[in-house]
Structure 1
Amino acid sequence: MVKSISAGPNEAAARSAGRTPSVRWALAGLSLSMLLSSLGTSIANVALPTLAQAFTASFQEVQWIVLAYLLAITTLIVSVGRLGDIIGRRRLLLAGISLFTVASVLCGIAPTLWLLVAARAAQGLGAAVMMALTMAFVGETVPKAKTGRAMGLLGTMSAIGTALGPSLGGVLIAGLGWRAIFLVNAPLGILTFLLAHRHLPGDQRKPKTDRAGFDNVGTLLLALTLAAYALAMTTGRGSFGPLNLALLLAAAFGVGLFVRAEARAASPLIRLAMFRDPALSASLAMSMLVSTVMMATLVVGPFYLSRTLGLEEALVGLVLSVGPLVAALTGVPAGRIADRFGAQRMTIVGLIGIAAGSLILSMRSGTPGISGYIIPIVVITAGYAVFQTANNTAVMTDIRPDQRGVTSGMLNLSRNLGLITGTSVMGAVFALASATTDVTTARSEAVATGMRVTFAVAAILILVALAIAVGSRALSRRASGEMIVDAERQEEEDIRLIESAPRQ
């Protein structure tokens, strides 16, 4: 059962006597929250050709339907996590679910393209709240010994949402039109709100004098910096021109301003001292590297399957769904394994799996067929599910309650930055290795070469992540050993003082 965190023993007793929140129903609400926010990321992609016709717009214009959602999540996810720590995670999560649901309806009835883009940005803000606070709530709803299982369940729902988006979107567009892909969120959003409102623990009431202030300057600087970086990585559809360079330089300048502002802020958005924790810094770095690599499967896969293996579009979609399906099936078992064998150890096991699958793909000679592609992808995605669950568990298990929201936001941010970076960087590696300006018309041999080189680079990035994981574990062991030695020295000193004290 969930521990009540409302103020005062009398109020807690009244709450427990009236209705005690159920862990299972609370997790059901959190799972739906994660499912909806992930579904919103992938369901609109399949509708872009239809939307271009409906609004008589170019691909570059309708692309903002996807980009607005992604930018809103990326730029605001840390800020809303911190805001939840300050004003209360339950009330902010309920507001985020409400905003997501209302914005989904507005998307479905939007009469013009740019109103649809604006509604998608609002939907992305709601999704940012849902993503950041869903993970933060695990520490308040689940016993510490079962944190890994809960993280695995959330990872499963995220994978299901990502995998379900294209297929569900295609069915809804064919049967009911493009507006249905947004309106379908309304009943699910209402159900999610009711579950969260009924079963999540209440917010702890703090005296106004104890409440931390919100860092407005830091929030604005971080949002602008992340927006500049995201646009630098996505603008130009794979080409890197002067605008991309200018945006990247602006992002680098923004990082400097943000660090300076946080060092001076009385109540900073992100406490820079957090990065002195080698375990947290390592987890964030590994998350970004792994997400960058996972994007290679989505960037390279469609071209390799269609151009080299000659598969039709329907079969390409079926093969591409194998990865998310494996991740969905592996999530909960991975959480149980992390709880049993330790999160740090399973983080390394997951990275080894991703590295092994990437190396297999990089060393494929000739055309091994569909099975020769699917088997390594299964290894990669299973390894990813184990890594993601264990890494999130390691970070969120022992985090301070007043830092859960911002830490969860940082984990989600590192993942999103990895996905954005992977889209640009791994796509550029693939195009360069294929030795062609247009991958859609490249020869099958060139695409196969591009695939092998891309996954060779992916294997190198995972080996870097593996080195970070091993180094972080060694530092943690050393720190634990030093603490034990200090405790033993203190105990010996206490015994010496007792023995040397004059006896009465």
Structure 2
Amino acid sequence: MKPIIAEPGEAVAERPYSVRWALASLSLSMLLPSLGTSIANVGLPSLARSFDAAFQDVQWIVLAYLLAITTLIVSVGRLGDVTGRRRLLLIGILLFTLASVLCGLAPTLWLMIAARALQGLGAAIMMALTMAFVGETVPKATTGSAMGLLGTMSAIGTALGPSLGGLLIACFGWPAIFLVNVPLGLTTFVLAYRYLPNDIGARKKDRAGFDTMGTLLLALTLSAYALAMTIGRGRFGLLNLALLLTAAFSAGLFVFTEARIASPLIELPVFRNRVLTASLAMNALVSTVMMATLVVAPFYLSRALGLGEALVGAVMSIGPVISILSGVPAGRLVDRLEAPFVIAAGLVAMTAGSTALAVLPGIAGYIAGIAMLTSGYQLFQAANNTAVMADVQPDQRGVISGMLNLSRNLGLITGASVMGAVFAYGAAASEIAAARPEAVHSGMQITFGVAAALIAVALTIAAGAYRRRTNSEGA
């Protein structure tokens, strides 16, 4: 059966098997980048020992991947319009798969980091273009369900990484956490090649729309920011300050440039929508906390609680199970209740979960905290994405979905760098892999005390956005 082909915004003729397999390819294209984000975290202790590296150096295995995604995800969406989405998506899948092989075979830490950056480029292409393909592969009446499916796959990939990674490391060693992507990537490529619609010819006028300067300035901003949060092994010195000032200057230059070019990378007027701005800010804060769980938990469970790698993965699988079970009900709850109410409920649950992780001891305390945190995250994500995308015009969906991805990845970078620094500070040790159990426990308490405060800030933002929305509707 031939792939479904439709103009953007048009309903697609009912072709059940084609729609099903096209969605399967898109689901895998969303799952793999999310899996790539989280699966490496559980291997950080093993990688630190294997490469004889400090905690802050090993963090770059995570940061290089996230930086590549964050700096490029908006640009590759525009590039897909120029060169053809299907063609670029296939290239992205192959890049991701090839980079996974290079990661698994890397003999040194810095070659590993370079391969992870290449893997991040492939992941950025997959994440950006997967969302854009929904309107071309499913009937318009079921677009919401398809978007919900992709959101669920992203959450499953993020949540599944630690447990799958722990199992693979215990059985085959750390290279397996990267090589597992190879058969999945090849399967995704075959399905995408067979079932996704052919490219509609790109218009020549779109070629002027690729914002190279904006991409470079955004990359400079985020790279300087991540370096400022990582260099110094938990201590903030003059170099860190200089990097933060560089990030601030380049961010200002980025805004100045975007306001004056014909086809900016990010449309600055979208920030005039206060509800959208609030949603993006909350998304970044929530992602910061969720990334902190992935970075800190393996060290807490292994060093403070003395669990082996296999048992660490088993305990951390509680999160994936809850994520899988709560994703669909969360989406249905959003359909029945107002999105702001579900956003607030999710943030309250996340605050309770972060507090539990900070104060409750032992494995039981960890499980209770992560259960509340994960279920709250699912509620928040389903409601926040619905609230943002509900009233977006068809020609703006790509821009807004790109902004959601950007805010999420900014939060992930913050979680991996800032919260990692908070953890190292709380443990009073630059070498976390060798820290005493009581020091690691102290770092865990301080980290999730900060996490609870961040979610409380997000809850305050949600309340303010709801009041503004209510006042505007009343007027």
Q: TM-score range by the shorter chain?
A: 0.7 to 0.9
Task: Identify the residue that residue 323 of structure 1 maps to in structure 2.
Answer: 319
Task: Identify the residue that residue 233 of structure 1 maps to in structure 2.
Answer: 229
Contact 1:292 1:419 (8 Å CA) reproduced = yes
Query: Cα offset for 1:470?
Result: 2.3
Question: Structure 1 vs Structure 2: percent identity of aligned residues?
Answer: 68
In structure 1, runs of 5+ residues without a counterpart are 483-504
Aligned length: 471
In structure 2, runs of 5+ residues without a counterpart are none
Task: Identify the residue that residue 391 of structure 1 maps to in structure 2.
Answer: 384
Task: Identify the residue that residue 462 of structure 1 maps to in structure 2.
Answer: 455
Contact 1:172 1:180 (8 Å CA) reproduced = yes
| Cα distance change, pair 433–105 in 1 and its aligned pair in 2 (3 A) | closer
Q: Say which of 266, 290, 297 aligns to 2:293.
A: 297
| Cα distance change, pair 124–429 in 1 and its aligned pair in 2 (3 A) | closer
Query: Cα offset for 1:311?
Result: 4.5
| Cα distance change, pair 322–270 in 1 and its aligned pair in 2 (3 A) | same
Report which of the two structures shows the higher radius of gyration computed on alpha carbons: 1
Kindly report which structure 2 residues correspond to 1:10-159, keeping only aligned pairs within 5 A, or say none.
Answer: 22-45=18-41, 58-59=53-54, 64-108=60-104, 115-141=111-137, 149-159=145-155
Structure 2: how far apart are the matches of 1:405 and 1:159? 20
Task: Identify the residue that residue 487 of structure 1 maps to in structure 2.
Answer: none
Structure 2: how far apart are the matches of 1:120 and 1:307? 26
Deviations 1:115-170 (A, max 9, x none): 55433322210101112222343455456775554444334333433344345445
Contact 2:152 2:328 (8 Å CA) reproduced = yes
Structure 2: how far apart are the matches of 1:169 and 1:373? 19
TM-score between both structures, scaled by the size of structure 1: 0.80
Residue range with higher mean Cα deviation, 59-68 or 86-95: 59-68
Task: Identify the residue that residue 406 of structure 1 maps to in structure 2.
Answer: 399
Structure 1 residue matching 2:392: 3-state secondary structure: coil
Query: Cα offset for 1:203?
Result: 4.5
Query: Aligned AA for 1:99?
Result: L
Query: Aligned AA for 1:134?
Result: T
Two-structure CA RMSD over aligned residues (Å) = 3.6
Query: Cα offset for 1:284?
Result: 0.9
Query: Cα offset for 1:246?
Result: 1.9
Q: Say which of 185, 189, 193 aligns to 1:193.
A: 189
Structure 2 residue matching 1:264: 3-state secondary structure: coil
Query: Aligned AA for 2:180?
Result: V
Query: Cα offset for 1:112?
Result: 6.5
Query: Cα offset for 1:276?
Result: 0.7
Query: Aligned AA for 2:462?
Result: A
Kindly report which structure 2 residues correspond to 1:153-192, keeping only aligned pairs within 5 A, or say none.
Answer: 153-169=149-165, 172=168, 179-192=175-188
Residue range with higher mean Cα deviation, 471-480 or 435-444: 435-444
Query: Aligned AA for 1:243?
Result: L
Query: Cα offset for 1:74?
Result: 2.2
Residue range with higher mean Cα deviation, 113-122 or 96-105: 113-122
Structure 2: how far apart are the matches of 1:264 and 1:463? 37
Contact 1:21 1:199 (8 Å CA) reproduced = no
Deviations 1:347-367 (A, max 9, x none): 222112112223444555xx4
Query: Aligned AA for 2:371?
Result: V
Structure 1: how far apart are the matches of 2:430 and 2:168? 35
Deviations 1:375-431 (A, max 9, x none): 232011100011112212322344333433333232222122212212333344445
Task: Identify the residue that residue 263 of structure 1 maps to in structure 2.
Answer: 259
Query: Cα offset for 1:53?
Result: 7.9
Kindly report which structure 2 residues correspond to 1:208-357, keeping only aligned pairs within 5 A, or say none.
Answer: 208-209=204-205, 213-302=209-298, 304-305=300-301, 309=305, 311-357=307-353
Task: Identify the residue that residue 5 of structure 1 maps to in structure 2.
Answer: 6
Structure 2: how far apart are the matches of 1:332 and 1:99? 31
| Cα distance change, pair 426–174 in 1 and its aligned pair in 2 (3 A) | closer
Query: Cα offset for 1:340?
Result: 3.0
| Cα distance change, pair 101–242 in 1 and its aligned pair in 2 (3 A) | same
